[in-house]
Structure 1
Amino acid sequence: MDLGDCYRVLGLRSGASFADIKASYRRLAQQYHPDINPDDKKAKDKFIALTEAYKLLLTVVLPEEIAHQSSQLSAAGRDDVKVTRREKAATTTVAPQPQPSSKPPELVEIEQRLKWKTYEQLQRFLQERRFPQAIALAEALAVRLSGDAEVLQWQAVAYQIWGRALIGENQLLKARIYLKKALKTDPHNKALWNEVQRDFQRLEQMLL
């Protein structure tokens, strides 16, 4: 299920807000809940699809909501600085204040919660062999938390695990693509490098 499918399952247009996604999920989940439709397999399947779509969209839309909060916090901080400077300028000359280089504590806490919640979901996807969902999840988190070494490592491992699974399915060309992505994403990870090299050796043997 890709992001477009997720929006369609929830009856929404692409780019819907977090509030719209949440409201639509609650309405449809109540309609198709197994407790309300105990003997209806189609309703049960619909409920499962709704839940999966909702969880996947949260990993993409929630980071956007956080980014919006971040911009608001930054704007508020700039306004506070302007007001403070105007007040001080009326009485005395003040040396320029350095701009803050770190993120607000509130935003850091939100991002850390998102990061580890997403990691838990990523682990479940990999264990359940739901590799496309795992990759989409890892890539969305990497975009939101760009430069986070742990997130890049998780993304690279997800690529490598899927590449190995593709070798087992004899999809060798596709496997090569994802193994290369793993190395490119986390090129300084020696343990990952050794694992990927073994996967490449296995792949080459199958091509002979």
Structure 2
Amino acid sequence: MSLSRTIIKQIIKYKNLNFEDLTFLIALSYNFCMEIEPTYAESLIEKYFSRKFTGITKDDSLFSEITNNTNGLLVYREQAEKLITHISGITEEKAHILVRNLRKCDAEARSFGHEFVKSGVSNGYEESEVCKIWEFISLRSQSLLDYDFSLALGWLLYQIEYLNTYYSYIINQEIESFEKSYDITPILETIKREHNITPF
């Protein structure tokens, strides 16, 4: 089953999706073509919605104060950055750079794991828990979704759909007027000339 079909299935199955749910699905759709494994993505969707509607236990939740909007799952890059800052005490800026470099499979960034665990233990966290968190972040760094981008994209898609629904006639008129009044022939000719494009 493709990811798009999985997403559609969830939307049909659960009627009362909120904006956080839609942002999650948008984020997953955008990232899917780039770096997320289909099986992991589908599993993530199932976990997200099953936890949303059946509830989660304390053991299932990963730092609930940071992952409360994703039902205890570490999903977003921004969450990983906050978690690293929270546990190790490094600045948000350094955490951002660290996660960015982890996504690039940077060896130096991955070597930060020892310092992360040491700092976490010094800050009162269980070593096994900190090790588990670092292992997950370093292993799944390329699969972390971008919340801010997806949130902005979600609002943009909403606005476009709103305009298409209630003002489609006006929009079509404006587009038609623009196409009639603006001659793009010189632009096309320039492109053909500069790139040596000849008609068939």
TM-score class normalised by the smaller sequence: under 0.3
Higher relative CO (CA 8 A, sep ≥ 6), structure 1 or 2?
2
Structure 2 length-normalised TM: 0.27
Structure 1 length-normalised TM: 0.26
